[in-house]
Structure 1
């Protein structure tokens, strides 16, 4: 099966993701073309680096202004994140093992069973594509108007609601990469095993780290994991609260109305994104390193062109 060449083959993982990668690639090339027109004496490296600054800043704006508040919540999560005070050279912005291995993988719980192809009031089966049919199906990107229909479909489709009773879609646990493998994979099992391979402390230990109580019985999870049936299941599977894997326990936590994660992952996500922001000397709000007015003027010229 043919795929697009990129820095990571997983850019082709599914059609929605591939569409977004394509949008940002086009945005990069659009900016680079305009910068070359404005600065004809610049060489290729200068054009690339300046374009990279702008694209990186735009990604940061979307992430910190628009996306993150929806994930960790305005009431609690953004207060943990705190306001940006400027670049701090003493902050280490490296990615924590727990963030890469477990916390950021909360997103798997938000993946819908279907990908909607276009904006419709009442979507028909023709517009709904099972996710299992879209894994590494890069050839579909050559269909007429596919970018517009996919992007409009994503705009019109809400995220899967985080529910402890159905934490992750069957498309990811029963049909992952079905088209490209003899036997489909199970993403939930992979996440659990990855955490163990990376020697992550258990869920109870991270509860303590995030200011929650250490549960000595499964009923003591009830403040965060309110579903009694789920707690009973955990007890049957794990035997003792100290044995529960972080990813499993955290995705089963109930979430606030303005967030998509429970208190444990909210704590770990907010901490990592705070370090990524404060320890980045090129962060888009750092006016000493990055002139926001110039970017806005460049974008204005591009849209007027």
Structure 2
């Protein structure tokens, strides 16, 4: 299998492990935190070019939100930024199972999470049907509240409707097998497995293959040569707090939901309404998110680089909590509202290994000080100056390093090698450690499940195909 690494410290499955030894905090922690906050504040998209001499590989903007859906299915850490400085990863509870099992849809199943299911305890509740019999929203209860296994499924308008697509896919599977399986629990289990296998196929064979470094992807998924050997698998803190957060850079400041319906960041990323169903005008035409899903042309994601869309520099209070909440460990008066600042401070508090340490462990070339600090015109950037003055050029925060590597090596179109190792190894191990996952089935690498549509049997090979079929579900 090619193993050469063991996690530095393993944990129970419902907590987080640490792959690499913790970094040492500097003596002057106030200056350290100030430097991290300055670096995060400088990570704003100023519109400047990354490079002129590398071809673009355009990534549809829907991949950003499918990645968020995947991340939510693997990890849920509700600890505060301040708690990250006071606890070890194995003390932090992961409120999701470390499996790609669609727990964000199913919760703990019909017996324990009955509020998610119709009376038959087989079908998931979905939003009300619109004219023509279609539904595009999640279920809303009699009191107007959202009916979700994980409230993050309504974190934004795009993820909310994507969650609804997978709920309807499960119900489609129920009807596909209803004529073959009479007993309700067996019918539910078979439909859930069908939906899980389809989801896992899309993660491995489309999402990861599109976004990860091709050599890393081939080694881990094509050749099953894992670098890390777990005795007990749990989600690595390096994955949840750094590597899988590459998707933050992919978020655009604006999207198209339908023709002439441009939606800007504040309307999308403030939490969706706590009460009531979505207005019909907010229904997404998935062709704007996945090329070929409908006649519209898909918008592309932002590059994966060290810049975030401007609205991420002032997150809404309903996403991060009351701004006046103190973070005593930082000696700052309020909860930081900048996403990059929050991510860097969390990573530092968790004492994540540096990007250089992780790159070396996976046998990857380490970026030089010049590469980390200069732009494509060989000029030191503001972020580069902060890295230099803070002493971060030899010990770069892991999340920043992963983004910079993607920017430098992949022109922002894929995750660089170091980040790709962390993402690929984690998701591969999550699937291998789950006996029921599609990777552990005899014909796993051949094809996805068969779906029986009125016009014939279909296999869904990619995200574009799934969302093209969404109106039929």
Shorter chain as normaliser: what TM range? 0.7 to 0.9
In structure 1, stretches of 5+ residues that fail to align are none
1:29 corresponds to which residue? Answer: 171
Is the aligned partner of 1:128 residue 2:279? no
1:80 corresponds to which residue? Answer: 219
2:435 corresponds to which residue? Answer: 281
In structure 2, stretches of 5+ residues that fail to align are 1-143, 291-297, 324-335, 458-473
1:68 corresponds to which residue? Answer: 208
C-alpha contact (below 8 Å) 1:218/1:240 kept by paired residues: no
| Aligned partner of residue 117 in structure 1, secondary structure | strand
RMSD: 3.6
Greater Cα shift, 21-30 or 266-275: 266-275
| Aligned partner of residue 115 in structure 1, secondary structure | strand
Higher fraction of helix = 1
C-alpha contact (below 8 Å) 1:281/1:289 kept by paired residues: no
For 2:447 and 2:319, the matched residues in 1 are separated by 48
Residue 200 of structure 1, CA deviation: 1.3
TM-score by length of 2: 0.53
For 1:52 and 1:140, the matched residues in 2 are separated by 27
2:426 corresponds to which residue? Answer: 272
Distance 1:111 1:209, change over 3 A: same
For 2:352 and 2:362, the matched residues in 1 are separated by 15
Specify which of 411, 415, 424 is matched with residue 261 of structure 1.
Answer: 415
C-alpha contact (below 8 Å) 2:313/2:340 kept by paired residues: yes
| Aligned partner of residue 129 in structure 1, secondary structure | strand
For 1:205 and 1:102, the matched residues in 2 are separated by 14
Residue 90 of structure 1, CA deviation: 7.4
The 5 A counterparts of 1:125-274 are 127-134=261-268, 135-138=270-273, 142-144=278-280, 146-149=282-285, 151-155=286-290, 156-164=298-306, 167-177=307-317, 183=323, 185-212=337-364, 218-219=369-370, 221=372, 228-229=380-381, 230-236=383-389, 238-253=390-405, 254-256=408-410, 259-274=413-428
TM-score by length of 1: 0.78
Distance 1:9 1:188, change over 3 A: same
Aligned residues: 287
Residue 189 of structure 1, CA deviation: 1.6
For 1:37 and 1:300, the matched residues in 2 are separated by 12
| Aligned partner of residue 67 in structure 1, secondary structure | helix
For 2:321 and 2:281, the matched residues in 1 are separated by 29
C-alpha contact (below 8 Å) 2:255/2:262 kept by paired residues: yes
For 1:267 and 1:144, the matched residues in 2 are separated by 41
C-alpha contact (below 8 Å) 1:70/1:258 kept by paired residues: no
CA deviation profile, 1:114-155 (whole Å, cap 9, x unmatched)? 12112x5xxx5xx21112122212468522263343x23323
C-alpha contact (below 8 Å) 2:200/2:438 kept by paired residues: yes
Residue 66 of structure 1, CA deviation: 0.8
| Aligned partner of residue 104 in structure 1, secondary structure | helix
2:294 corresponds to which residue? Answer: none
CA deviation profile, 1:231-272 (whole Å, cap 9, x unmatched)? 333213x23434532112221222426952122212212222
